[in-house]
Amino acid sequence: MTLHPNVVTAALIPPVALLFPGQGVQRPGMGVELTRLFPEADRAISRAEEILQMPLRRLCFEGPVDELLRTENIQPCLVAVSYAAFEAFSQRYDTSQIAVVAGHSLGEISACAASGAISWEDALLLVRERGRLMAEAAFTNPGRMLAIVGLTEVQVEDIRCQASAAGGIWLANLNSPNQFILSGEASAIAAAERLATAANARRVVVLDIPLGAHSPLMSRAASKLAETVRALPLRTPQIPLIANGTGFVLHSVNAVRSELVGHLLRPVLWARTMAAMQRMRVATVVELGPGRVLASLAAKHMTGVVTWNADELLVDEQGR
């Protein structure tokens, strides 16, 4: 770590957890201030453009929205911005205080890179392939995703079972004890939306994600992505890395490879990730990516934890 002179940094209480968000947090303008303030972040975006041969800077900073929202574009863009934030963070904070890393869905690949289990270059190439394969799968097996907030796991499972009469539908994310995402065929998702609304869920939203992630609708993409993962030169994580599929720490190359092979089919058990971080006595959570979806979940469900996102910690602090 190299601390630059005259750089403002906040005091982070260790142990620190770094979290990386997944698809759904993207927005035009993401990363603009980060790259303006931090040369490392700017170089990271330029390097990602060079590796992927994509106009990442334009897509992240300007859009347009319809182009950014394409699955094959969203995914490398989000990983590139998360990579840029991690580079800026690593130059300004004591990385020895990082006790654990984790990423939600797509963000798990960023977390693997932050842990040292995969190089950033390979992570970018992997996520580009992931986005391409998922876009293809969505074309042949269309699907949608539904967020339900304010019901219990038992209630959501009952809704899922009833809605399955209209088509395939599966639990994709267990984000917290009262926040869930279902994934499935459009007809089944529409039925689940009606049932969740009738059950007085606090919030029921069909996500602006044109596919059925973390479900059998991704089977074709998952089998092809697994071939890519098996060929990757992975390493043992240097920082504890929590798996989406189990909420357990991955300690070996084989464990990381197994997690990534099943990545597109397994549900994201984020509630277990937060429980694992609580057991590790994490005191500070830093979300490195656009927005603060994961930081907000941590603030609500991890007792006593202090939360930051990239803009708050890096952009706003630097501007003071």
295-307 pLDDT, tens digit each: 999 999 999 999 9
242-277 pLDDT, tens digit each: 999 899 999 999 999 999 999 899 999 999 999 999
Decide: pTM greater than 0.85: yes
Give the Cα separation of 291 and 249 in Å (integer): 25
146-191 pLDDT, tens digit each: 999 999 999 999 999 999 999 999 999 999 999 999 999 999 999 9
Q: What is the pLDDT of residue 69?
A: 85
- Of 239, 265, 261, give the one whose Cα is nearest residue 250: 239
Q: What is the pLDDT of residue 26?
A: 85
Residue 275 burial (10 A CB sphere; 0-12, 13-18, 19+): middle
Q: What is the pLDDT of residue 1?
A: 40
Q: Note the residue count of the chain.
A: 320
CA dist 180 → 130, 139, 267, 270 (Å): 23, 25, 10, 10
**Looking at the annotation, which residues are catalytic?**
105, 214
The residue extents of the domains of the chain are: 16-139+216-318, 143-206
For tokens 């479900």, name the residue: 215
Q: What is the pLDDT of residue 318?
A: 65
199-237 pLDDT, tens digit each: 999 999 999 888 999 999 999 999 999 999 999 999 999
Specify which residues 102 forms β-bridges with: 19
DSSP codes, 98-163:
EEEEEE-TTHHHHHHHHHTSS-HHHHHHHHHHHHHHHHHHHHHS--EEEEEESS-HHHHHHHHHHH
CATH superfamily, domain 16-139+216-318, is Malonyl-Coenzyme A Acyl Carrier Protein, domain 2 (3.40.366.10)
Q: What is the pLDDT of residue 2?
A: 40
Q: Where are the alpha helices (DSSP H) in 141-264?
A: 153-163, 186-198, 219-230, 253-261
Percentage with pLDDT > 70 across the chain:
96
Architecture of domain 143-206: 2-Layer Sandwich (3.30)
pLDDT(134) > 70:
yes
98-117 pLDDT, tens digit each: 999 999 999 999 999 999 99
- Residue 24 exposure: Cα atoms within 13 Å on the Cβ side: 23
Between residues 6 and 315, which one has the greater pLDDT?
315
Interstrand relation of 144-149 and 179-184 (parallel, antiparallel or unpaired): antiparallel
CB atoms near residue 51 (< 10 Å): 18
pLDDT(316) > 80:
no
Q: What is the pLDDT of residue 319?
A: 53
For tokens 């759904």, name the residue: 24
- Of 174, 141, 157, 167, give the one whose Cα is nearest residue 272: 174
Residue 37: pLDDT band with limits 50, 70, 90 = very high
- Residue 1 exposure: Cα atoms within 13 Å on the Cβ side: 14
1-25 pLDDT, tens digit each: 444 444 446 789 999 999 999 988 8
